[in-house]
Amino acid sequence: MGKPSSWQKNLRDASPYLSLGMQVGMTMAAFAVGGYLLDQLLATTPWLILVCSILGMVCVFVRLIHVANSSQ
């Protein structure tokens, strides 16, 4: 194997960010669906979906801050 080309190096450098959008979307969806299901189960509409959505946003921001700090 020879020396990696510049696009391979750039792809390797960008790899931590490539799945970040999917992580953000799936985290928010999981918390929102979880809140919805708990609301249906416990008949607390709309409180648990709101709480879980806010908790999901906090988790997303923590993840974004973690990724931003690890790149420095």
Q: What percentage of the chain reaches a pLDDT higher than 90?
A: 51
Task: Tell me the longest C-alpha to C-alpha distance in the chain.
Answer: 62
Q: How far apart are the first and last CA of the chain?
A: 30
pTM: 0.74
Task: Give CA 47 to chain center in angstroms.
Answer: 22
Per-residue pLDDT reduced to its tens digit, 51-66:
999 999 999 999 989 8
When pLDDT is cut at 50, 70 and 90, the band that residue 14 belongs to is: confident
